Structure 1
Amino acid sequence: MSRIGTTASLKIMKLVTGGAFLDSGDLGEVFMSKRELPAGVAVGDEVSVFLYRDSEAVLTGTTARPKAELGQCAFMKVVAVTKSGVFVDWGLPKDLFVPASEQYKPLEEGRSYVILVYLDERTGRLAGTAKLHSHLNEDGSGFVPGQEVDLLICGFSDIGFKAVVDNTHLGLVFRDDAPGELRYGQRVRGFVKAVRPDNKLDLSLLPPGLSGVDMLAGRIVEYLRANGGVAPLTDKSPSEHIAAAFGTSKSAFKKALGRLYKDRKIRLEPDRIVLID
């Protein structure tokens, strides 16, 4: 069954001057503009279209693909602000409306946010929301440790990075489980590290069995080998210098140095690290 906000393969019922009407079953007729029709199509042919309602509320099919379909999230830029809400660019000619009631704070023109596409039951139109917690599940009991997942970074906390998991759930990537800094709106592949007793998800960008300290320690050794066995950094170096070199926090850097020192792979001097051959 076809649904508004999704892509479907529909049969052409009728060709008209301005385009064609497609059969979407329970939804009824879908209009497709002539400029969207593939060349040489005929009645009875099938075309793959994304379904939405246009500015006149007409059920419409387009060959264009939005950044996110119904129930999915994407990083979208605000292109206009009104008293009742904002419009974001989601990849279609008709921008997506995000009502003021679906904003956790006023969204600003020119800035991008993680937005989820939902169907407004009152109007029958697609809309966007920045209130992810209201639409996504935090009960990760259906996941298993080690499971590979798609992540969209949607926020930050003192201990890590908040992420949308497979467009359905929310979870947290702890800083020690991310090889470097992550950006808001960034998509990455990750893994379920653990399902907590409260069923919330702990996530990691590292394959099962590999810790963030191990990965960072390996990167430090590679850096030293590429720079004559010496790096002008220590565990007392400014955080910004460490972040610039390795894209990680000072805390994680110190843990990795401790691991390497314990394994006798480096020598710590007052103003530098030296690789031990």
Structure 2
Amino acid sequence: MQLGKTQTLKIAEKNTSGLFLESQTGERAFLPKIFADENAEIGDEISVFVYQDDSALKATTEIPLCEVGEFAVMTCVQSLPSGAFMDWGIIKDLFIPYKQQKGKILEGKRYLVYVYVDDVSDRITGTTKFKRNQSYDNVPFKKGEEVNLIIAGESEIGFNVVVNKKYLGLIYSSDVFKKLYPLSEETGYIKTIREDGKIDVTLQKQGYENNHDEFQQKILQKLEENYGILYLSDKSEPEEIKQELQMSKKNFKKAIGGLYKDQVIEILEDKIRLINEE
């Protein structure tokens, strides 16, 4: 039986309180009646999440925010001197011992939490202490692959992120063209898997050819919002372009070049203008 994982188990016994579920190795977990199908029969299989309640194994059909070996953003529901209890989406709160807190966890606040099974107690445990920009072996990503990101926080060279709930990676400052907020979720793309096993990601698909429609549409939208005039040109500073359009100067120049070629805009000394606007 996999502790802290969603798995399929077989109903081995029923009573008035619920169901006893059994793994192929004979281990059992109890599924309370509140989560059980009243029409379930012995021998039926059911998908459940297995956790501990005191010394007993229990099961639930609830879906946790994350499983063992994954990260999630959780809210603290109770903070004690010994540790904090976090809401992770199931009936049993997740415990983070005081020694596993990077900083004092406060009730009602949200934190990025990693879930693991403690080697000493053999219990599911949470921690807010983890090494940023980790190195990994056999990373299951390829360059350009779309991934889900959780923004972990800002670093000296960019933003630390969680990739697909399982891996820690980095977005360099040079690849950030929008305001990012800690604990928010974003869509990203694998930029590179370094030789040392570290993961670099970006918020935009690599290569202008993969984004030109998006860049041009963003420029056209801004032009429409500003009555056909945008006070940016190929001579504008990169920071001005980044602040206004959340794109690099290189991509901006290529985008307006394409719009100019298609006779959609005209490029003036200090601005661009829609041709159909006077």
Q: TM-score, normalised by structure 2?
A: 0.80
Specify the code of the residue in structure 1 equivalent to 2:226: N
2:71–2:166 contact (8 Å) kept in structure 1 = no
Counterpart residue number, 1:71: 69
Q: How many residues align?
A: 264
Matched, 1:109 2:107: yes
Counterpart residue number, 1:91: 89
Specify the code of the residue in structure 1 equivalent to 2:88: W
SS of equivalent to 2:268: strand
Aligned-residue CA RMSD (Å): 3.3
Counterpart residue number, 1:44: 43
Specify the code of the residue in structure 1 equivalent to 2:189: F
Matched, 1:219 2:197: no
Q: TM-score, normalised by structure 1?
A: 0.80
Equivalence map 1:1-277=2 (5 Å): 2-26=1-25, 28-54=27-53, 56-133=54-131, 137-139=134-136, 142=139, 143-210=141-208, 219-231=218-230, 246=245, 248=246, 266-267=267-268, 269=270, 273-275=271-273, 277=275
CA separation in 2, counterparts of 1:9 and 1:261?
54
Deviates more, 1:45-54 or 1:17-26: 17-26
Deviation at 1:17, TM superposition (A): 1.9
SS of equivalent to 2:224: helix
Instruction: Give % identity.
Output: 32
1:261–1:267 contact (8 Å) kept in structure 2 = no
Deviation at 1:47, TM superposition (A): 1.5
Specify the code of the residue in structure 2 equivalent to 1:138: S
Deviates more, 1:190-199 or 1:5-14: 190-199
CA separation in 2, counterparts of 1:141 and 1:26?
29
Deviation at 1:49, TM superposition (A): 0.9
CA separation in 1, counterparts of 2:116 and 2:232?
49
CA separation in 1, counterparts of 2:71 and 2:229?
44
SS of equivalent to 1:162: strand
Deviation at 1:80, TM superposition (A): 1.2
Task: Provide structure 2 residue ranges, at least 5 long, that are not aligned to the other structure.
Answer: 261-265
Deviates more, 1:42-51 or 1:222-231: 222-231
